[in-house]
Structure 1
Amino acid sequence: MSKSVMSRWWVVLGAILIQLCLGVIYAWSVFTKALTEEPFGFRKTQTQVIFSVGLATFAVVTVLSGRLQGKIPPRILALAGGIVLGAGYITAYFMGTSYGGLVLTIGLVGGAGIGLAYTVPIAVGVRWFPDKKGLLTGLAVAGFGFGALLWIYLAGSFGGWIAKFGVSQTFLMFGIIFVLLVGFGSIWMVNPPEGYVPAGWNPERAKGGRVATGGGRDLTSFQMLRTAQFYQLWVMFAAGAMAGLMVIGCIKLFGSERLLEHFRGAGLDDAAAVAKAAATTELAMAVFFAIANGLGRIVWGIISDVIGRKASLAIMLALQGAVMASFYWLAASPAVFCVAAALIGFNFGGNFALFPAATADLFGNKNVGANYGWVFTSYGLGGIVGPILGGWFGDFAKNSGSLTAWLVPFFTAAGACLLAAVLAAILKPPAAASETAARDRLRPGTPVSPPSVSAK
């Protein structure tokens, strides 16, 4: 297959297939209830620790993957990620009910596999689509969001794999599928020819546009880490990730408890109310959150190509903060709960279209794989703080008998998102490399070369 004749849309297809499998981490909530029951008997917090270890490992290994992309062909790196991810889930089958075993296999090994493969489609895609970075990143990671729907559908009450085969057998079947699908998708993970420019696109005209805020500069990771813009992006992404990951990790636990009051008030007995609440929360997670998560990646990417990344980030984060602040009360009604879950999923999905595109805008396309890997470490912080905070207060709410304990994590996430929206509103492009060098020369204590003898 020649790079010069391959349609760039094959890259999108390969990216979606790969990300469908990587998105299994967002389906974790479908396993949490079964893991709190016999024969596992895990505490809610323990189920969230497995999830958080996977998220943190995912984020850390993403940095390694970004650095490897200049040394290993992207096709091989994506395939390696699929094999490691599959191996994590396959070996989880042999761990039985061991809590430590699941932390190791699902958390560490599975998270590492996701991290190895995740930025490959983004980095390859941005090179093939420099004219549509928002759309491309949205499409490339849409599979990650829709993947949650697929795996929840198969494992949950729709496909019934957990009920029919058990948690461990479901892990095994998932692992085998991951190896096959990622292997197929990796076929198209190849970079375009050197100097590739899409037909009809003028790079010089794009530099002056509203989207190309970085002015076409290509910064290395070392240079990027010396800019204030990197740390602004990092904090913003951590906040957006924390809110969404908190809901992903605990929506089934929180929703099942919150909606009990509604269904009991509707006259259902306890058994019927419990079943109805569980079914509603699974619907909210499997359909409303998951579909909106995938759509948000595409829609926010398209919006950002029109109004710019800065405005899109500010609006998205502010909206997420408002929904998180009111989520406890919105969850009192089944219909409104589903709408709120969809809004959170929609905004959460937007993170994964806007932040890689913003990284490319600010720091250039050439090193976007390595640079976005560093930005993505903030996702690891959000993945630790969000789910564990939600799980801890979920246990506290159960032990104290007061559901209002859930307000603390939701308000925390809301405040973080609103702060991030302010940071987005004041985000500016980094200084040009020549300007930075000039400032370095003028900095006190910096040696200045004497003028040339021949200088006029």
Structure 2
Amino acid sequence: MKINMNLSKIKQNRYGIAAVFGGFLLHLTLGNLYSFGNMMTYMDSYMHIRVSSNITYSNFIWVNSVTTATQGLFMAVGGVLERKIGVRLTCLLGSLFLSSGIALTYFTIDISFAAVILTYGFLNGVGLALSYVVPLSCGMKWFPNKKGFVSGIIVGGFGLGSLGSTYLQTRFLNPNNIPVGSSGYFENSSLLDKVPKVFLLLGGIFFAMQSIACILISKPKNVSSQVLEESKTLMNSAEVEHRKQLDHFRAEEDVPTALKSGDSRIMGRDLTVREAIRTKEFYILYTIYFFNSIAVGYINAMYKSFGQTFINDDFYLSEVGSIAAIFNCCGRLAWGKLMDKTTFRFSMILMATCLAFFYLTLSFTPMIGKGFFAFSVWFIFFSFSGTFVLISTATEKAFGSTYYSSIYGLLFTNQIISSVIVSVINETLLHRYGYNVCFFIVSLIVSGSVGLTCILPRKL
């Protein structure tokens, strides 16, 4: 009997590891989103010179904004589809939207800016939305006692994804390191001729990776045993900490009863979507996510165009973006591990403080040099990466796993508003006041996350 139980556990762990790896692989392709700052310089140059001179860097950011807004709009749909058609079909459908959206840009980039927004923006965003949450949900169900770390691994793929994308884009399009022209755009004909072809290349590679990932991703058949294991762990932890924390918890009026007893869920059980949106914790997490998303969207789209104002080396800027992906990935693992060891509250306060600080350092990079520019960009990526693993894990801890995908999808709708604000900040302020004012405003917005996090229960 004992041997059979051990064999069953080994088999379960094998499928669980495969599911986590599949989630990581799928998120690698979704992480192409973070290569937009690099790809935008080529796409915008192509359209500015060959389609319409009215298309500029300041308005091209709307492509990325539509992607993230669409992702926010459709994220909750992924949770619904997961329950209706299953894990693998949901991920496959999202993969088809994402890869085909990128590949179809081969045609739309010669048509109009609106057509590019439809394919590289909207379709890409739908694919991201449907594919994003499901691997996270599956991974945390397989390993309920290591939620932060598992989430960090999976979304680490999202952070690392731009490493390969950025390198491939630059080496394919600009292998001779041709600098931008006096206009601020790439003008070389041989470079521009290859721009449409890169979308077919990326779309094909991504779909091949996604197909493998969809085969590997699964969720435990006996979820109840996973929940029981988690509950036992929580109860054991509660017994150790109960006597030490009892007086402290009673003194805090804002801590829910369930949290006082050691259960991380707000009501001591899994909440439905309707119940979750009636809690103050939902709206606090939503606003923190919203503030941090503004910082994420702005640096992702504008770091390279800002660097081009004082660095005349396309390879260097591309390498900065590629290495930023490593910091993005490692940050997700580090912040997830920190949350497992401490709390969401402590981790988010530290993360948001770092993010606000490093945004301010960008203003000094033209004076200090390109090395300091790389340092600032890398640590901004390292800092903001924690947003996704911390919020996703806190959502599951606070509201439970049953409706996690749908609840997290609702939280992700902040992207609809934040992406528009990023574009408005850029178009309204960039030409009038310059990058430094934009960086300061974003830093100020992120500082709001620190104050909001302090309102959340200490044990979350």
Flag whether TM exceeds 0.5 (same fold).
Answer: yes
The CA deviation at 1:252 is: 0.8
User: Are residue 39 (structure 1) and residue 50 (structure 2) matched?
Assistant: yes
Q: 149, 156, 174: which is aligned to 2:202?
A: 174
Q: Which runs of 5+ in 1 are unaligned?
A: 261-273, 398-403, 432-456
1:82 has 2:95 as partner:
yes
Q: Distance in 2 between matches of 1:66 and 1:127?
A: 14
Change over 3 Å in CA distance of 1:100–1:159 after alignment to 2: closer
Q: Is 1:113 matched with 2:124?
A: no
Partner of 1:449: none
Specify whether residues 388 and 30 from structure 1 end up closer, same or farther in structure 2 by C-alpha distance, changes over 3 A only.
farther
What code does the residue aligned with 2:401 have? N
Asked if 1 retains the 8 angstrom alpha-carbon contact of 2:343 and 2:459, the reply is no
1:61 corresponds to 2:90: no
1:86-123, CA deviations, whole angstroms, 9 ceiling, x for partnerless residues?
11112111123221110111111111111111111011
Q: Which among 331, 334, 339 is matched to residue 304 of structure 1?
A: 339
CA-to-aligned-CA distance 1:167-190 (integer Å, 9 cap, x gap): 211111111222221111011222
Match of 1:91 among 101, 104, 122: 104
Q: Secondary structure at the match of 1:94?
A: helix
Separation (CA, whole Å) in 2 of partners of 1:374 and 1:189: 23
Query: AA paired with 1:189?
Result: I
Instruction: Quote how far apart the aligned CAs of 1:331 are.
Output: 4.9
Distance 1:5 1:123, change over 3 A: closer
- What's the TM-score, normalizing by structure 1? 0.83
Mapping for residues 105-254 of structure 1, pairs under 5 Å: 105-157=119-171, 160=174, 163=191, 166-195=194-223, 197=225, 203-207=231-235, 208=237, 213-214=264-265, 216-254=268-306
* 1:39 partner letter: R
1:284 maps to 2:320: yes
Question: Which residue of 2 is the match for residue 414 of structure 1?
Answer: 443
Deviations, residues 270-293 of structure 1 (Å, cap 9, x unaligned):
xxxx523x4443332221x21111
CA distance in structure 2 between the partners assigned to 1:352 and 1:159 by the alignment: 31
User: In structure 1, how many angstroms separate the alpha carbons of the residues matched to 2:106 and 2:69?
Assistant: 22
Task: Give the 3 Å change call, closer, same or farther, for CA 356–331 of structure 1 in structure 2.
Answer: farther
Task: Tell me if structure 2 keeps the 8 A contact 1:227–1:430.
Answer: no
Q: Is the 8 A contact 2:141 2:223 kept in 1?
A: no
From 356, 363, 372, give the equivalent of 2:392.
356
Quote the Cα distance in structure 2 between the aligned partners of 1:316 and 1:229. Answer: 19
Cα offset for 1:388? Answer: 4.5
- Which residue in 2 is equivalent to 1:275? 312
* Paired letter, 1:172: L
Q: How many aligned residue pairs are there?
A: 406
The answer as to whether partners of 1:55 and 1:384 remain within 8 angstroms in 2 is no
Instruction: Say if 1:233 and 1:51 are closer, same or farther in 2 by CA, change over 3 A.
Output: same
Question: What is the aligned-residue RMSD (CA, Å)?
Answer: 2.6
Matched with 2:375 is 339
Distance 2:132 2:78 in 1: 8
User: Residue 379 of structure 1 corresponds to which residue in structure 2?
Assistant: 415
Residues 1:299 and 1:430: Cα distance change in structure 2 (over 3 Å): closer
Do 1:52 and 1:388's aligned partners in 2 also have CA atoms closer than 8 Å?
no
The residue type paired with residue 314 of structure 1 is: I
2 CA distance for matches of 1:150 and 1:52?
Answer: 22
Deviation at 1:383, TM superposition (A): 2.5
Q: State how far apart, in whole Å, the 1-side matches of 2:424 and 2:123 are.
A: 20
Structure with the higher fraction of residues in helix conformation: 2
Which residue does 1:401 correspond to in 2?
none
Matched to 1:411, the amino acid is F
Deviation at 1:212, TM superposition (A): 5.7
Question: Cα gap change, 1:200/1:336 in structure 2, threshold over 3 Å: closer, same or farther?
Answer: farther
User: Structure 1 residues 110, 318: closer, same or farther in 2, change over 3 A?
Assistant: same
User: Residue 453 of structure 1 aligns with which residue?
Assistant: none
- Residues 151 and 24 of structure 1, relative CA distance in 2, 3 Å threshold: same
Residues 280 and 334 in structure 1, CA contact (< 8 A), matched pair in contact too: no
Q: Tell me, what secondary structure is at the counterpart of 1:70?
A: helix
Which residue of 2 is the match for residue 450 of structure 1? none
Distance, in Å, in 2 between the alignment partners of 1:223 and 1:201 is 25
8 Å Cα contact 2:425-2:438 kept in structure 1: yes
CA contact (8 A) 1:217 1:364 kept: yes
- Alpha-carbon distance between aligned partners in 1 of 2:77 and 2:218, rounded to the nearest angstrom: 19
Asked if the contact 2:78–2:133 (Cα under 8 Å) also holds between the matched residues in 1, the reply is yes
Q: Which amino acid aligns with 1:361?
A: K
Structure 1 residue matching 2:434: 3-state secondary structure? helix
**Residue 439 of structure 1 corresponds to which residue in structure 2?**
none
Match of 1:423 in 2: 452
Equivalents in 1 of 2:453, 2:120: separation in Å?
34
Q: CA deviation at 1:199?
A: 12
Post-superposition shift, 1:126?
1.3
